[in-house]
Amino acid sequence: MTSMTSTPPTPLTTGPVAGSPDAAPAPGGVTFDGVVKRYGGQTVLDVARLDVPHRSFTVVVGPSGCGKSTGLRVVAGLETPDSGRVRIGGTDVTDTPPGRRGVSMVFQDFALYPHLTVEQNIAFGLRLEAKHNRRAGPDKAEIAQRVTDACAMLGLAELRRRRPSQLSGGERQRVGLARAIVRRPRVLLLDEPLSALDAQLRQHARAELVRLHRELGNTVILVTHDQLEALSMGTNLVVMNAGRVAQTGVPADVYQRPADTFVATFVGSPTMNLHDVEPRPHPAGGELVGPGIRAVVAGAGLPRRVRLGWRAGDGVLETPTGVSPASERPTDEAPTGPGLTLEGLIDVVEFTGESTVIHCVGPAGGWRASVGSGVAVPAVGERVRLRVEPDKLHLFDTATGLRLADPAGPVAEPVPSLGGVRPDGV
Amino acid sequence: MPGHDRRPRATAAAVTRHAVLILTVFGMLFPMLWALSASFKPGSDVYGASPLPMPATLENYRYALGEFPVARLLLNTFVTAAGVTVLHLAAGLLAAWSFVRFAHRGQRVVLGLVTVALVVPPQALIIPHFLMVARLGQRDTFVGLIVPQLATCALAVLLLREHIRAIPPTLIGAATLDGATHAETLRRVVLPLLRGALGAVAIVVFITTWNEYLWPVLVAPSPEHTTIQVGLQMFETQEGPEHGPLLAAAMLATMPVVAVYFLASRRIADAFLQSGLR
């Protein structure tokens, strides 16, 4: 169940959550209930309700200091919340010691024991388990087998006798992963595991983690500040801001229907363009007008001030290269149709390989549009007109920042579920 | 030395500098070397001006070890120094670990008190310690000799605390998540990483205790328990000082410490530099 409620309530919780909130979740699901953590006088984490579905690959993303790492450490038991309960697989683990939660973690710096070899690092937890629980714990043969399996899974067979100081960054990350998975955790926590790797390795490691999750079939929670990792890796996305959960859902949903202006600008690159506009009555529903900007949308009953957003990739350039501003005249009729029309002068052109990002300035302020690499891009200084289809527009309340009814009309159907995550309640 | 034309002047400066250094070192080493040489001189040659023992003899050593309880005194000293060292390490490690791991509100006050204890000269504690030991009936025992010397363990606490703080907290977190108890984390993760620091503390404490004079002479003056530093006064016999055997015994008292220091001086310097304490 992917559902979330946070204070203040956001328009995400459009309907009742399937089943009662206390319905027993599957074994590896993680639930936060009114979890608050303060440092000194500062509240760093305040989550009224958060459900991480069993077997999901959940990515928690947010700017630094948003409480995402603290949240992860609360799941691990390395931090104790000041109030609220944490449940794993339906069992309240708030007072369970970290080692008995069935949770393991890969730390940002990998935290390998420097005085132990790779295989001793991996076996450390199992050996302790065997010592603590002589009857039910693993015996020597089982430990050896599980360490061998973990090494094979992560390609560490050749490195078993090395010490962490003799390993590269990527190898250390794999040892950290092996140490975490060898204990067969219900929940695997990853605290920015890719940030210590260089860019080339990072892309490879992203794919490796996704594959590993598929093979293990347990719940994975990954914390990152990188919105690309957030969108590309997970089956479930949690966006955090200032200690609170801003939105949860399938990454594509979050990208397509951001809950507020924070999520809209944080997720996606280049960031969403936002313009303050004033609604006016219009036969089709409503007309949004600002300096140099005009949009017709189906929604009615809009507040007095509206923030209009559109993604850089959703804009379509209407002025082809070489067309003089004077010849634009006929297209001036366009704004009467539904959608957004915007004008501006090209200021900067950025070629990124697959696409070209053009930075424009106009009466509506600065905005960015991204066009495919096949499209001829007008030169710097030229005037361009851009159109965005009504279903690609996002409306937010200027005062609260929250998302308003969809500009294209009735609320769209939820995106089909990915990886067993049902996006009900989002 | 970069640049050819500069070379002669630089060499001259180096020669001067080294000459000064050599003279200083010689001045410091001379008494030691003279004592070492004299300890091998036979009979009244001890007072002779010859820099080398001619002929060299072990007579003084034989006499010191035979007629005086020098072996026993050395054993006493070793037991005392080793005991104090072990106590310092144990108390220092546990206190340092709890300072880092179980940080609490009163932390600053307690830490301040420990730092103050570092500054208080041990001589100031001699009288209260002596009264306590005497009233507990522990005069002239190893317990009375060793335990009060734990009062100076602030250095061990602070030095080890700095070293534990330098261990990445994620490493402790990893051990906790691996199911390690506090004791297991301390023994299996922290202790192996502190080997250098513990060795440095051990050597410093051992040498200091070995050379301690005031406390043993007060609390345990009998040859059964006292240390070699105190025992050397036995050579001031009623028939006059036995300078040859005295020097031999003094050499025996000094050599172990010098050996320990030469083997480990690098490690001590490293441990103090790394911790930022000096």
pLDDT in tens, B26-51: 999 999 888 899 899 887 788 888 88
Least Cα separation, residue B188 to chain A (angstroms): 9
Contact B176, B185 (CB under 8 A): yes
Q: How would residue B7 be classed by pLDDT, with cut points 50, 70 and 90?
A: low
Count chain A–chain B contacts defined by CB atoms under 8 A: 58
Q: Which residues of B touch A98 (CB under 8 A)?
A: 176-177, 179
**Omega of the bond prior to A270 within 30 degrees of 0, cis?**
yes
Residues A111, B171 contacting (CB under 8 angstroms)? yes
Q: Which of B105, B178, B181 to mutate to test the interface with A (most CBs of A within 10 A)?
A: B178
CB B89 within 8 A of CB B81: no
B190 Cα to chain A: minimum distance (Å): 10
Q: Cα–Cα distance between A299 and A302 in angstroms, integer?
A: 7
User: To which residue do tokens 């001045």 refer?
Assistant: B27
Q: State how far residue B187 is from chain A, nearest Cα, in angstroms.
A: 12
**Can you give the pLDDT at residue A286?**
81
Q: Do B168 and A109 touch (CB under 8 A)?
A: yes
Does ipTM top 0.90? no
The yes-or-no verdict on residue B111 having pLDDT over 60 is yes
Tell me the angle at which helices B59-67 and B243-275 cross, rounded to the nearest 10 degrees.
Answer: 90
Per-residue pLDDT of chain A (426 residues; tens, 9 = 90+): 444 444 443 333 333 333 334 444 347 799 999 999 999 889 999 999 999 999 999 999 999 889 999 999 999 999 999 999 999 998 999 999 998 999 999 999 999 999 999 999 999 999 999 999 888 889 999 999 999 999 998 999 999 999 999 999 899 999 999 999 999 999 999 999 888 888 888 888 899 899 999 998 999 999 999 888 899 999 999 999 999 999 999 999 999 999 999 999 999 888 999 999 988 888 777 888 888 888 888 766 778 888 999 999 898 887 644 444 444 444 444 445 678 888 889 999 998 888 889 999 988 889 999 988 777 778 888 888 888 988 889 999 998 899 987 655 543 333 333 333 343 433
Say which of A108, A128, A179 has its CB closest to residue B179.
Answer: A128
Per residue in B162-177, pLDDT (tens digit) is 999 999 999 999 999 9
Q: Do A111 and B189 touch (CB under 8 A)?
A: no
Cβ contact (<8 Å) for A179 and B178?
yes
Distance from CA of A405 to the nearest CA of B (A): 45
**Per-chain mean pLDDT for chain B:** 88
Residue A108 contacts B, CB cutoff 8 Å: yes
Q: Chain B neighbours among A 25-84 (CB < 8 Å)?
A: 73, 76-78
Inspect the interface and report whether the beta carbons of B180 and A113 lie closer than 8 Å. no
B180–chain A Cβ distance below 8 A for any pair: yes
State mean pLDDT over B68-78. Answer: 92
- In angstroms, the CA A328 to CA A315 distance is 18
Using CA coordinates, name the residue in chain A closest to B181: A99
What would the mean pLDDT of B157-165 be, rounded to a whole number?
A: 93
Give the pLDDT score at A9.
Answer: 39
Map tokens 């072996």 to a residue. Answer: B71
Q: Do A132 and B179 touch (CB under 8 A)?
A: yes
At B9, the pLDDT band (50, 70, 90 cuts) reads: low
Distance from CA of A112 to the nearest CA of B (A): 7
The reply to whether A99 touches chain B by the CB within 8 Å rule is yes
The lowest-confidence range among A7-11, B43-47, B181-185, B192-196 is A7-11
Nearest Cβ partner of B174 from A100, A107, A132? Answer: A107
Residue A76: closest CA among A100, A57, A40: A100
Return the structure tokens found at B78: 């070793």
Contacts of B184 in chain A (CB under 8 A): 128
Burial classification of residue A161, based on how many CB atoms lie within 10 Å of its CB (0-12 exposed, 13-18 middle, 19 or more buried): exposed
Q: Which of A104, A108, A129 sits opposite B177 (nearest CB)?
A: A104
Asked if B178 and A115 come within 8 Å (Cβ–Cβ), the reply is no
Interchain CB contact of B176 with A (< 8 Å): yes
- Distance (Å) from the alpha carbon of B169 to chain A's nearest alpha carbon: 9
